[in-house]
Amino acid sequence: MIPFLQTALLYVIPFLLVLGVVVTVHELGHFLAAKALGTKIDRFSIGFGRAIASWKDKGGVEWRLGWLPIGGYVRFAGDENAASIPDAEDLADMRRELVAQGRGPEIARYFHFKPIWQRATIVAAGPIANFLLAIAIFAALLMSFGEWVLPARIAVVEPDTPAAAAGFRPGDLIVQAAGRPVTRFDDIREVVTVRANVPTEFVVDRGGQRVTLNATPAWRTTDDPVAGRQRIGTLGIRPAQGRDDFVQVHYGPIEAVVRGTDRTWRTLQTTIYYLGRMITGQVHADELRGPLGIATVTGKVAALGAEGSDGLGDMLLRSGVNLLQLAALISVSIGFMNLLPVPVLDGGHLMFYAYEAVARRPLAAKVQAAGYRVGLALVLGLMLFATWNDLQRLRVFNLFGGLFS
């Protein structure tokens, strides 16, 4: 019983909390944009499946808590029928039905009768909410705690490494990497980790002079305390990491928001770049993580935060801060993934609206339905593949092999 409770506390509960916050904010983005544009909303659900609690507000919106807390959704008026993927004929049928029921004045409030720009705004509001959540989390943490910054000054250049071949020297201060300004050593890791086998330009300050160096990060397999065993790009440099080398930086509200926005943008850039390399086959797809992998990382992040804590309050604070940072990173990823032009995702809806704007009529319902089926198959296939990677990474099949050998 005790091991089960420990697993629940360290893995399941943190995972559900992080995912719940990220998905709820995403759906709130759709909801608030729809409300602001006068759209009729039937339901806002946190979680799927049968409701364990529900109530209606004064506007007639049903708020629901589903028993399966792994997502959520907003249901607009009219979504319960075939008009969820409407063409011109479906819209005409819905209009006639509403008029026949004496509900003609409500037509303008139905999502599918809204102008294209309003529908696109409502759809895009979900991913935008994810990006705003990440900015808010980063800014709040920076404003509350500040951060310890390790300057990007090299202390050690390992022999027979890309850095040594490129001419890096101890004492060099890296000020630019791959065109990005560098202010801390973490900026270097962010660039190098995803650029293995990619020639990359660096600019260093060497004795007051700017020197340009070109290096190609090499693959290295490492055991990260959070991410586990993974292949990443490395240069072969190490910074000075004594207590006096770290600089504590405090931020005011405006500075924290600017820094939070910059961190969110950098995370998005890195995500897009890494995904592009994965699609083109430059990075092994087995690095892709699914729900099990995210749950494992979430548990390790919570456990890492609890290490060295002084009492329950300190443990909850440390773990909470770590989980908030992870939630911000996941929120950026979910916001970006939802903007991909794949039917069933928000980006797929935006793609259909772009067609409608050009053709001046919705895409045929049959074509939309086929697109949604293909999109759903792609998303489910990707999730299954990522879950397979998770099981391989967790060595589940090795365990089964031991049981039956």
Classify 61 as helix, strand or coil: coil
Residue 394: other Cβ atoms inside 10 A = 14
pLDDT of 396: 44
Residue 45: other Cβ atoms inside 10 A = 20
Strand partners, 43: 62, 75
Q: Per-block average pLDDT, block size 10, for the chain (405 residues)?
A: 52 78 92 94 87 87 85 79 55 78 80 90 95 95 88 92 94 92 89 89 93 92 68 88 82 93 90 78 63 59 62 71 85 90 88 90 78 75 60 46 40
- Strands 209-215 and 200-206, by their bridges, are antiparallel
User: What sign does the CA torsion over 70, 71, 77, 79 have?
Assistant: negative
pLDDT of 339: 92
Domain boundaries, the chain: 123-146+251-405, 147-249
Instruction: Please give the backbone phi and psi of residue 71, each rounded to the nearest 5 degrees, phi first.
Output: 170, -155
Q: Which DSSP symbol is given to 241?
A: -
Q: Which residues contact 201 (CB under 8 A, 6 or more apart)?
A: 176, 177, 178, 179, 212, 213, 214
Instruction: Please give the backbone phi and psi of residue 307, each rounded to the nearest 5 degrees, phi first.
Output: -65, 135
Alpha carbon distances (Å) from 354 to 304, 347, 362: 46, 10, 10
- DSSP code string of 301-321: HHHHHHTT--HHHHHHHHHHH
Q: Per DSSP, which regions of 6-157 are E strands?
A: 41-56, 62-76, 147-149, 154-157
Q: Which residues contact 333 (CB under 8 A, 6 or more apart)?
A: 271
User: What sign does the CA torsion over 263, 268, 274, 276 have?
Assistant: negative
CATH topology of domain 147-249: Pdz3 Domain (2.30.42)
pLDDT of 150: 87
pLDDT of 140: 94
Residue 53 in tokens: 């609690």
pTM for this predicted structure: 0.81
- With contact defined as beta carbons under 8 Å apart, do 83 and 362 qualify? no
27 is an active site residue: yes
Residue tagged active-site, from 27, 62, 147, 190: 27
pLDDT of 215: 93
Classify 284 as helix, strand or coil: coil
pLDDT of 291: 56
Comparing CA positions, the residue from 325, 341, 345, 329 lying closest to residue 131 is: 329
Instruction: Report the distance separating Cα 158 and Cα 151, nearest Å.
Output: 19
Instruction: Please give the backbone phi and psi of residue 12, each rounded to the nearest 5 degrees, phi first.
Output: -70, -55
Instruction: Please give the backbone phi and psi of residue 173, each rounded to the nearest 5 degrees, phi first.
Output: -110, 115
Largest separation between any pair of C-alpha atoms in the chain? 81
pLDDT of 299: 61
